[in-house]
Structure 1
Amino acid sequence: MAAGRPDERKVVRMPSPEPAEELTAELVVDGVAAVAPAVSPDGRLVVYGVVGNEGTSGAIWVADVGGSGDRRRVADGVGRGAVPKWGPDSGAVFFVSGPFVPGSSVSGGEEQRLLRVRVDGGEVGEEVGEPEVVGEWRGGVSDHVPLLDGRTVALLAADEREDGVKVWGRHLPPDRLRLVDLESGEVRTVDGLGDRHVVAVAQRPDGGPLAVLSWATRELDPGVLTAELHVVDAVTTAVRELGPVGVEAQAPVWWSRDGVWHLAHLEVTPGHLVGGLAVVDSAVPETGPAGEPRNLTAGMSVCPAELEQVADGPPLALFAEGLDTALYRLDAESLRFRRLTGGPGLLAGLTASRSGETVALLASTAYEPKNVHAGPAGGQLVRLSDTRPELRRIRWGVQQRLGYRASDGLALDGLLIRPAGRTGEDGPAPLVTLVHGGPYDRYADAFALNAVDCGQWLASAGYAVFLPNPRGSSGRGHAFAATVAGRVGGEEWTDVLDGIDLLVAEGVADPERLGIAGWSHGGFLAAWAVARSDRFKAAVTGAGISDWGAQAGTGDWGILDAALGGSTGWDGPGPHVHDRNSPLAYASAIRTPVLILHGEEDTNVPLGQAVHFHRALRHFGVEHEFVVYPREGHGLEERAHQLDALRRTRDWFDRCL
């Protein structure tokens, strides 16, 4: 294993030298966050949401793109669904208010309202109107898209679900495409899509038809495997079929080339169930079949993360580049994406004005949480929101970029957070490795502080924290991400070990005081670590997979989890590939104390994964604690549960390390 590459190892961003205050669990969970920025079509204003813990204090704000410091709250009490959208005249903002959380299941009797608030004049200082209800829906609204005629809003809304027995396959009502007439209140449902679940809508920038992306069912498996594109006339509701698209297809955008309209979208690299996202494009003539799809990001060593439609040109995109993020634009001649500008850390939530000259997004760096930034595409962006100024009083652990090589020579990256108030001259510290989920995710050189991403929380208690990006992560192209297919716990695990070995060799980590933790796929790797190694003195597995065969049969992602684990349990009596990739198969070797955390209503990684792991540890007499959080899904939403997880995790490492 080679030492870190000088160009990456030397980048150390220091936290603010301001007076320090103690980081408490309450400070971690009780702040607010900026979400869902949107630039007005004329490029002068940005609207965004601000949500608090448990989504109970949602508000909508408008700010001037120029960063004058003027901000105006235009709506309160909108809950977590604070996703504002501009009307085409840049004079009104639409949003959905109600109890429904996008992406959650829908229960009968819930009512959501589509509201409009006037922000006329295009200046923040001018008066705004009171929000007015322009539509209501029982059953849940997952998205809304104001159309360019100024009279219609497209809703992605489910039928109201009746209580009673659940007939599998019909137990989750699909989101249907509804068109709301703002003057009459009339709602038309696009019947030509049948019972397909609509996941995304984009109107052609000339005011023409809608591109509609749908799945055969709302269920992730087989939904993400059955995506199709359609073109819908917003006036007649006539539907034109464009045919199937790839796995996990998302974010359709229109653009024009040589007088012909194209549709591009994101999907897993064609031909693969596991791997990096790609931008796939097809010509869509006015009549006749769509053109052959073309992968516009083939061979790139970075990963597209977001795709944004621009009315007057080709689309913009955000790309994950190792620990950083960059803004790209599609070149219409070469049909390749060209880099406009990059920034350290994380960029997300990209939106653009109609001309594409102005963008807004969420940006975060090592010690600054995500806030709304806006400005010229490819130019300097100005911060418009400041959601957590209280965190500037905290003395953070120094966050350092790591570049190193795996034992087979592959270049890798990650982050090291040193214990708060300590430097490299203070000698080795206890080290906790936090493995991210996914596995197609990554650690960017950004600020992350919550009940799951708790690196700074542990650093404030004296721990060094290692945040690795092993094979399977995003940010280094498709081939890097696809390595884990059928091989979870293989090279991705040795990549993590190689990073730990480097930190031990450089005197950062005490080899006798190593811990490991993670959530979701990170929880799997934490369980795998103690099943395959005796180096760790403590582990925390959050919503982790212990048996890949059972996960393929019961988890939300189904066959895609089987592609990671390597097989299913229904293709013969075995031996199965997934057995050798499952921590349960090696439970008899575990000696490390393990803290197991899991949500009781998790359907992504069902609770049975944790129950089975707990019983195996109990059978072999392994010290462990098993904690189940009622009402929680794959993450932790309730404040009391977040506080408990933070304190319990740190107490576990304090006791064992």
Structure 2
Amino acid sequence: MDATTTKESTKSAALLQDILDTISPAGVRVSPDGKYVVYSIRFRLNHRKHIDAPAVAALWIAESTVPNSARLFTDGLSSDWMPEWSPDGQSVAFLSTRNNADGASKQAKSCAIYLQHRGSTQPRVVMAPEHNRSFTSISKLGFSPSGAYIAFVAASPSEKSFHESGDDAVVWDQDTNFQHLWLVDVKSGELRILFDGDANVTDFVWCDDRKGDGDLAIMTQRSTHADSQYLHGTTASIVSMGNTEVRPLCHVPRIMWSPVWLHSALYFVGNNISDQDTSGMSIFRVYEAQQVVEKVAHGEVDCAAGLVRADDDIVVHVEHGLEDQLRLLLADITLFSQRKRIVDYHVSGTVQNLHVALSWGDVNTPTELFSLKVGTRDLHKLSEHGRVLSSASPFGHCHFLSCPTLDTKEMLDNLYLVPTQYVVRDDAEHEQPPATPLPTIVIVHGGPYGRRTDAFDAYDPFYLLIQPMLREGYGILVVNYRGGSSRGERFANYARGGMGHFDEPDITASVQHAISHGYADAERLVLGGWSQGGYLAYLSAVRNGGLGLGWRFAGIVAGAGITDWDSMSLTSDVGAGYESQFAGGVPWRMDKNDVRSRSGSALWEFKAAAQIGRIPPMLMLHGERDDRVPISQAWGFQRALDDAGLPFTFVIYPREGHVLRERKHIEDMSERILTFIRKHLGEADVV
């Protein structure tokens, strides 16, 4: 490594530390009067500074019309998250681990619900003292319409542990510790269970168009296992707060999420085709009186991504191609639209006087909190969490590139990020490719149901490295392949039994387009991806240069990727119900001579690729405790590479799941990826 490379490596390491130190708004909530916004914070990948540190550490509050007014709301000494305003707008309820402050052991870590007045700095615990350490996890909370009660979802407190005695055998689907629906009296702290039936509560919403605090709509699944929603579906019911009576509402074959109650009906986001997770996301409605599920909007040409009640309407987060939109559902009005990722949002007020808070960032600016008064052009930036990075010179420019698929059936919406020093515009300020094609990193997103648009952060380790890679002078191609979101049912449905048929060829089409239009250097290409992107990294390795277009990847980085779909259906936590849809089936439902699930398997294509020298140097990264894509997927490819005598580096991260959370591991992963890129792309020109 020469002096220039060492210098740039040091700069990138320092930049990475700044990125990992940057916090972003999350859990945004607007006060009922629209004057304040409270929110929690998170680090870039929800990581922790060290093994025992909390992932988040404080709540913040801002005045919605005052720029840069965000300030600490809680003291930041404990982990505080999931804020919810009381209906009168005077107090905020939230979850906190401060109930462990008197020396609870690591094994006894728990959380409790706290309440803090808007003008105070001292919260009080809501639950009575005997319940203060009862819950290790609470997944949702919400005030009753009057504010007298808080409902929440949590598993029953565990009375004893048999681990030390060794008497801890697990019987599948027996002695399951379901999540229940609980109710706590805000004044007295009295606690009771509203629903503890033989099902797992996953979500709820108050039926707040009635007088008093009467009923709640709850969503339940048959099992606590991750695969349950795909195998058994979700049931919605009405629970009476008074007598805990449960009345059925509806059942859907898959997931129901982001529930909203409006005009005696439950609205929710679900699969456009109710029993297919590869069909896009739509909005559905079921009236209590009729108990019939009907589709309301979205899912054909775009995708619903979330719902928030807004008086007598609902604000929908819509992914529309590379645009993120906020739309009024019933009024069918677009409130906000941009080609940047909306990370989070919330609304308050009437439709005629609507206050919106939302967070976003882009390639040059970290994610911050903004407020918008609908009907005006007043957009206020409320936070400055990323000011260290925002004050730096721009990292680059985002070009939006469209190209046809190889079979010409679809158009792909991709991004190409050009380092600042290569940005070219003509006299009319039209965007132009760089004067010289750039050494390029190709990033492939996970999912496959997902998509990337201009953003500062995403739950993708490769997005963590965009700014360092741009600063070092590399171009970045971000591919949105078929099977993803934002384009509706037809585009999403390519993933159903389509692994390897459409997705990997879409990467080839996208790279070829970037080369032919002067963005990417055909001699200097490296590809990387995580999760489903890791799968496509492995598949791209064995198909490298197979179409004879005159270019090949010089190296490939595969993170938490799939190499064999049959074994995924046997070992992944969602293998039987979810992953099998992509593979084309599960072994126990397929005939012995049916090889559909092998058609997109990197391992089954390995032998032929190795014999003709197609596979480039590999960097493989995997968490030791990954339940979604078990580490055995990487072991298989490692053994194949080792047996063939091909160059690779295989890194295992202890204690980690599907996405790395420990900062030292993230730092190690990042430096390995950057070093790999420098080695196989060569030095790029730097600022």
Pair in the same fold by TM > 0.5: yes
Aligned to 1:543: 560
Deviations 1:290-329 (A, max 9, x none): 1x2111125641111011123x312110101111211111
Aligned to 1:430: 439
Determine the C-alpha separation between the residues in 2 that align with 1:650 and 1:80: 32
Give the 3-state SS of the residue equivalent to 2:95 in structure 1.
strand
Aligned to 1:597: 621
Amino acid of the structure 2 residue aligned with 1:70: S
Aligned to 2:94: 95
Structure 2: gaps spanning 5 or more residues: 1-10, 49-53, 100-105, 424-432, 546-551, 682-687
Give the 3-state SS of the residue equivalent to 1:432 in structure 2.
strand
CA RMSD of aligned residues (A): 2.2
**Are the equivalent residues in 2 in contact too, given 1:550–1:569 (CA < 8 A)?**
no
**Are the equivalent residues in 2 in contact too, given 1:551–1:605 (CA < 8 A)?**
yes
Amino acid of the structure 1 residue aligned with 2:523: E
Q: Which one is further off, 412-421 or 438-447?
A: 412-421
Deviations 1:596-624 (A, max 9, x none): 10111110111111111111111122211
Go from structure 1 to structure 2 and tell me whether the alpha carbon gap of 1:635 and 1:200 turns closer, same or farther (over 3 Å shift). same
Find 2:252's aligned residue among 228, 231, 245: 245
Is 1:350 paired with 2:345?
yes
Go from structure 1 to structure 2 and tell me whether the alpha carbon gap of 1:358 and 1:471 turns closer, same or farther (over 3 Å shift). same
Find 1:266's aligned residue among 266, 269, 272: 269
How far the C-alpha of 1:267 sits from its partner, in A, is 0.8
Give the 3-state SS of the residue equivalent to 1:545 in structure 2.
coil
Give the 3-state SS of the residue equivalent to 1:190 in structure 2.
strand
Is 1:73 paired with 2:72?
yes
Go from structure 1 to structure 2 and tell me whether the alpha carbon gap of 1:77 and 1:368 turns closer, same or farther (over 3 Å shift). same
* Matched ranges for 1:581-620 at <5 A: 581-588=600-607, 589-590=609-610, 591-620=615-644
Go from structure 1 to structure 2 and tell me whether the alpha carbon gap of 1:398 and 1:93 turns closer, same or farther (over 3 Å shift). same
Find 1:174's aligned residue among 164, 172, 178: 178
How far the C-alpha of 1:456 sits from its partner, in A, is 2.7
How far the C-alpha of 1:377 sits from its partner, in A, is 3.7
Aligned to 2:6: none
Amino acid of the structure 2 residue aligned with 1:636: L
Find 2:599's aligned residue among 574, 580, 587: 580
Determine the C-alpha separation between the residues in 2 that align with 1:253 and 1:87: 17
Go from structure 1 to structure 2 and tell me whether the alpha carbon gap of 1:469 and 1:379 turns closer, same or farther (over 3 Å shift). farther
**Are the equivalent residues in 1 in contact too, given 2:434–2:518 (CA < 8 A)?**
no
Determine the C-alpha separation between the residues in 2 that align with 1:390 and 1:171: 51
How far the C-alpha of 1:550 sits from its partner, in A, is 1.0
How far the C-alpha of 1:530 sits from its partner, in A, is 0.9
**Are the equivalent residues in 2 in contact too, given 1:51–1:82 (CA < 8 A)?**
no
How far the C-alpha of 1:573 sits from its partner, in A, is 2.7
Determine the C-alpha separation between the residues in 2 that align with 1:477 and 1:263: 23
Find 1:388's aligned residue among 354, 366, 386: 386
Determine the C-alpha separation between the residues in 2 that align with 1:485 and 1:654: 36
**Are the equivalent residues in 2 in contact too, given 1:435–1:517 (CA < 8 A)?**
yes
How far the C-alpha of 1:89 sits from its partner, in A, is 0.8
How far the C-alpha of 1:79 sits from its partner, in A, is 5.8
Is 1:532 paired with 2:536?
no
How far the C-alpha of 1:81 sits from its partner, in A, is 5.4
Is 1:31 paired with 2:22?
yes
Determine the C-alpha separation between the residues in 2 that align with 1:444 and 1:171: 44
Go from structure 1 to structure 2 and tell me whether the alpha carbon gap of 1:75 and 1:81 turns closer, same or farther (over 3 Å shift). closer
Aligned to 1:301: 301
How far the C-alpha of 1:170 sits from its partner, in A, is 4.5
Is 1:184 paired with 2:194?
no
Aligned to 1:4: none
Aligned to 1:134: 126
Give the 3-state SS of the residue equivalent to 2:126 in structure 1.
strand
How far the C-alpha of 1:460 sits from its partner, in A, is 2.2
Find 2:286's aligned residue among 282, 288, 295: 282
Amino acid of the structure 2 residue aligned with 1:566: G
Is 1:198 paired with 2:198?
no
Aligned to 1:213: 219
Determine the C-alpha separation between the residues in 2 that align with 1:482 and 1:79: 44
Give the 3-state SS of the residue equivalent to 2:87 in structure 1.
coil
Give the 3-state SS of the residue equivalent to 1:237 in structure 2.
coil
Amino acid of the structure 2 residue aligned with 1:173: N
Amino acid of the structure 1 residue aligned with 2:622: H
Is 1:634 paired with 2:658?
yes
Give the 3-state SS of the residue equivalent to 1:24 in structure 2.
helix
Find 2:484's aligned residue among 465, 468, 473: 473
How far the C-alpha of 1:77 sits from its partner, in A, is 3.4
Determine the C-alpha separation between the residues in 1 that align with 2:412 and 2:435: 26
**Are the equivalent residues in 2 in contact too, given 1:567–1:576 (CA < 8 A)?**
no
Go from structure 1 to structure 2 and tell me whether the alpha carbon gap of 1:533 and 1:80 turns closer, same or farther (over 3 Å shift). farther
Deviations 1:494-543 (A, max 9, x none): 22211110111122212122111100000000111011123211000000
**Are the equivalent residues in 2 in contact too, given 1:139–1:159 (CA < 8 A)?**
no
TM-score scaled to structure 2, two decimals?
A: 0.85
Give the 3-state SS of the residue equivalent to 1:115 in structure 2.
strand
Determine the C-alpha separation between the residues in 1 that align with 2:643 and 2:176: 38
Give the 3-state SS of the residue equivalent to 2:593 in structure 1.
coil
Is 1:118 paired with 2:110?
no
Find 2:579's aligned residue among 550, 555, 561: 561
Give the 3-state SS of the residue equivalent to 1:481 in structure 2.
helix
**Are the equivalent residues in 2 in contact too, given 1:56–1:77 (CA < 8 A)?**
no
Determine the C-alpha separation between the residues in 1 that align with 2:645 and 2:375: 58
Determine the C-alpha separation between the residues in 1 that align with 2:55 and 2:145: 32
Deviations 1:221-278 (A, max 9, x none): 123442110111123222111131242211111112xxxx111101111242322111
Go from structure 1 to structure 2 and tell me whether the alpha carbon gap of 1:361 and 1:80 turns closer, same or farther (over 3 Å shift). farther
Give the 3-state SS of the residue equivalent to 1:618 in structure 2.
helix
Is 1:365 paired with 2:374?
no
**Are the equivalent residues in 1 in contact too, given 2:363–2:395 (CA < 8 A)?**
no
**Are the equivalent residues in 1 in contact too, given 2:363–2:467 (CA < 8 A)?**
no
Go from structure 1 to structure 2 and tell me whether the alpha carbon gap of 1:425 and 1:451 turns closer, same or farther (over 3 Å shift). closer
How far the C-alpha of 1:467 sits from its partner, in A, is 0.2
Go from structure 1 to structure 2 and tell me whether the alpha carbon gap of 1:156 and 1:378 turns closer, same or farther (over 3 Å shift). farther
Determine the C-alpha separation between the residues in 2 that align with 1:327 and 1:414: 22
**Are the equivalent residues in 2 in contact too, given 1:41–1:88 (CA < 8 A)?**
yes
Is 1:503 paired with 2:498?
no
Go from structure 1 to structure 2 and tell me whether the alpha carbon gap of 1:489 and 1:338 turns closer, same or farther (over 3 Å shift). farther
How far the C-alpha of 1:80 sits from its partner, in A, is 5.8
Give the 3-state SS of the residue equivalent to 2:587 in structure 1.
coil
Determine the C-alpha separation between the residues in 2 that align with 1:297 and 1:78: 44
Aligned to 1:419: 419
**Are the equivalent residues in 2 in contact too, given 1:428–1:509 (CA < 8 A)?**
yes
How far the C-alpha of 1:115 sits from its partner, in A, is 0.5
Go from structure 1 to structure 2 and tell me whether the alpha carbon gap of 1:24 and 1:108 turns closer, same or farther (over 3 Å shift). closer
Deviations 1:471-514 (A, max 9, x none): 11111112111111100122222222111101111222121221
**Are the equivalent residues in 1 in contact too, given 2:449–2:485 (CA < 8 A)?**
yes
Determine the C-alpha separation between the residues in 2 that align with 1:155 and 1:592: 51
Is 1:621 paired with 2:645?
yes
Is 1:654 paired with 2:678?
yes
Amino acid of the structure 2 residue aligned with 1:463: Y
Determine the C-alpha separation between the residues in 1 that align with 2:251 and 2:78: 35
Aligned to 1:124: none
Determine the C-alpha separation between the residues in 2 that align with 1:461 and 1:170: 54
Go from structure 1 to structure 2 and tell me whether the alpha carbon gap of 1:417 and 1:172 turns closer, same or farther (over 3 Å shift). farther
Determine the C-alpha separation between the residues in 1 that align with 2:593 and 2:181: 45
Give the 3-state SS of the residue equivalent to 1:85 in structure 2.
strand
Go from structure 1 to structure 2 and tell me whether the alpha carbon gap of 1:215 and 1:112 turns closer, same or farther (over 3 Å shift). same
